[in-house]
Amino acid sequence: MQVNIPLKIIGLGRYLPKRIVPSSELEAMCGLSAGWVERHNGVRERRWVTDETSSFMSAEAAREALCEAKLRPDQLDLIINASGTGEQAIPDTGVLIQRQLGLGKSGIPAMTIHTTCLSFIMAMDVASNFISSGRYRNILIASADVASCGINPKEPESASLVGDAAAAVVVTRSGNGDKSMIHNAHFKSYGDGAYLTTIMGGGSRFHPRFEGHKAEDDLFHMDGPAVLRMVRGIAHDFLEEFYPGLSEGMVDIDVVVPHQASKVGLMMLKRFGWPENKIIKTIETLGNCVAASIPVTLYQGVRDGHIQRGDKILLVGTGAGLSIGGMVLTF
């Protein structure tokens, strides 16, 4: 849907855990042959936390973003945690980020938007409406995921894919004459795919105190082939609803920043006629970082010079649910 909301990303930040985990370590853990992970998932290495928490990583990324935006933390009007994995059940991770930033007495509202791998795009959409209405001026959006704690070595396809990372942006209303804006945003969810990507534990249905609770309830499960089949069935129509012509070419898009779902998922983008040199990828060195994947990849594209001010960018991906979403913005 075309919205054309004046919104500008004025600060970008990223935090990567110091521990680098080569795919050979995953191959040993999962009993795989040498080179299996890179051949199947396209991941050479990824980052895993040692003692870092989700809120710590978000705050570190936020500090870099605030520095670039030339803002103090106390000049924020809203903090949005846009992550696929929460630090704990209660309180909300947004409050923990606020505390990590030294704002625990500030009263600045903090909240979470959780749509798994699409959390960052959805948070950008929500933030744009808050800013457009005049409710808030400066909004921090932070995405941090610690996926390594939930991997299941019995499912090597997903266990060898995920990494840990954080990224943050500060957004505000574009000034007069500034071309930065959100042009289009579109999301769809299909509950028939709800159990294709799951962590069954962590909520009230499979609580640890309940009889029959199993350790595997708390681990990540994904039926990758079924997810890909479902995405193939809906992607073309989604893209045409979202941005006509996008299912057959780039239209007027300069750069694509996709969720780093998997090697096969990224290869599927070729069927839409999107040139490979216009697609930013980080999967080889970072893996799939859940909700943090898109902003981490956006950060990389900007810092490498592949994304410039005035470029029209497509943020796009899928997530558990099964959900699919995208946003077109001028950076």
Phi-psi region of 4 (alpha: psi -120 to 50; beta: other; left: phi over 0): left
Beta bridge partners of 141: 80, 169
Q: What is the CA radius of gyration of the chain?
A: 19
How many CB atoms neighbour CB 273 within 10 A? Answer: 12
How many CB atoms neighbour CB 15 within 10 A? Answer: 24
Query: Which pLDDT belongs to residue 192?
Result: 94
Query: Which pLDDT belongs to residue 262?
Result: 92
pLDDT tens, position by position, 259-302:
999 999 999 999 999 999 999 999 999 999 999 999 999 999 99
User: Helix, strand, or coil here: 70?
Assistant: coil
Query: Which pLDDT belongs to residue 296?
Result: 98
Query: Which pLDDT belongs to residue 199?
Result: 84
User: CA end-to-end span of the chain, whole Å?
Assistant: 18
Quick check: 163 and 14 in contact, CB under 8 A?
A: no
Element housing 141 (H / E): strand 139-145
Phi-psi region of 294 (alpha: psi -120 to 50; beta: other; left: phi over 0): alpha
pTM of this prediction?
A: 0.95
Parts of the chain with a pLDDT under 50: none
CA 67 from centre of chain? 22
